[in-house]
Structure 1
Amino acid sequence: MNFVFVLMVIIPAVVSQSVPSTFCVDKDDGVYYPACRRFIKCVNGTVYDTECFNGQVLNLKTGNCDDAENVDPPCGRIENCTGVPDGRYPNLDLGCTSFHTCKNGTFLGHNFCPDNLVFNTFNDYCDWSWNTAKPCGICDETTIPCL
């Protein structure tokens, strides 16, 4: 479980700071550390630290910024946070592999969990399904925390 917590701390730090030019040297072309408004893209070993502006979001099909109406969920969907308590909420319809954040009644955006992880609402971070209560994980709610 500590490993997952470290991922949640490191991933936002990598995206918010400059990415080393060697980041993509041994990586396949594609999008890494995706969030709907900011992501790292590798093309032929070259790194592109990309931020979407003017209401655009990441289109996972193209690997580029695009207008939200052209993008599949979760990035293409704006959640209604009116009257919703501040916090992170799993996107249940997408198998909890992503989550969105509400703050002061405002939708702040969607984020993705690393591969093979789901959003754990009890711990408020991405975790293994066996450590996560239903509906996102396989742990019985009576065993919270699932360890």
Structure 2
Amino acid sequence: MYFKLCLLFVSVICSSWALPTDFDYDCTGLPENFLYWWACGSYGICRGGRYSQIDCVNGTSYDRRTGDCTHNSQAVTYPCNSVPEECLIYKGPGLRYPDRNADPVEALPPCTFYYTCAYGRYLGHQRCPEGTVYDEPQQRCLPPTQVSPPCGTFTGHVDGPVLPGTETVDGRQVIQPQTDTFGNVDKNKWPFTNNRNSRNQRPSPGRAV
């Protein structure tokens, strides 16, 4: 009996390491099919007032034009048809870049979305709140009037505060990823993970304001 309990305890611990961290995405007041983030293997979306993560499997990747998983043999849009150049160059623990490409679906302003690179890998896109764009030096979303071109219109110089969980490298705030108990980078701690085992919806109820 004691041996069985030990096995059960170990299996629960291992399962918790394999599962991604839960993030509290609030869909309250957001339009239907609001896209919170996407990566090539999955995306997070608000449907019916509830947040779900959709995982692309069986040889598919997320296609921004269709808003769903598309077979890899078809023309999948950037960045899932190639790795962003910044991700190939940057080998550090985590840095976010504004996406200056025009959005092919909603015609949103450039830099409305930003993406994360870590250790030479592309980890996915996220969306700034409405009315803001992504500022690379400060590693956060700000009104365009506070962001330098080409993402914004600000022409002065402002030293922003160093945000929690970051460190400054070459004037940029670098994201520090979480680590496991052995000090290794835990890639499941990012707010987007790829689950290649099945097409899975992981719902999360919207919380009240």
- For normalisation by structure 2, the TM-score amounts to 0.48
- Higher gyration radius (CA): 2
Q: How does 1:106-125 map to 2 (within 5 A)?
A: 106-125=121-140
Tell me if 1:130 matches 2:145: yes
Aligned to 1:50: 53
Contact 1:35–1:111 under 8 Å retained in 2: yes
Aligned to 1:88: 96
Contact 1:120–1:132 under 8 Å retained in 2: yes
Runs of at least 5 residues in structure 1 that lack an aligned partner in the other structure = 1-11
Report the CA distance between 1:100 and its aligned residue.
Answer: 1.7
Tell me if 1:33 matches 2:43: no
Change (3 A) 1:51 1:122: same
Change (3 A) 1:120 1:56: farther
Q: For residues 136 and 77 of structure 2, what CA distance do their matches in structure 1 show? A: 24
Matched residue SS, 1:143: coil
Change (3 A) 1:134 1:48: closer
More helix, by proportion = 1
Q: For residues 37 and 135 of structure 2, what CA distance do their matches in structure 1 show? A: 18
Superposed CA deviations along residues 125-147 of structure 1, whole A, max 9, x for unmatched, are 1111111122211111x42248x
Q: Give the alignment's Cα RMSD to 1 decimal.
A: 3.1
- For normalisation by structure 1, the TM-score amounts to 0.63
Contact 2:46–2:52 under 8 Å retained in 1: yes
Change (3 A) 1:129 1:48: closer
Change (3 A) 1:27 1:131: closer
Q: Which has the higher contact order (CA 8 A, sep 6+)?
A: 2
Contact 1:78–1:109 under 8 Å retained in 2: no
Tell me if 1:143 matches 2:157: yes
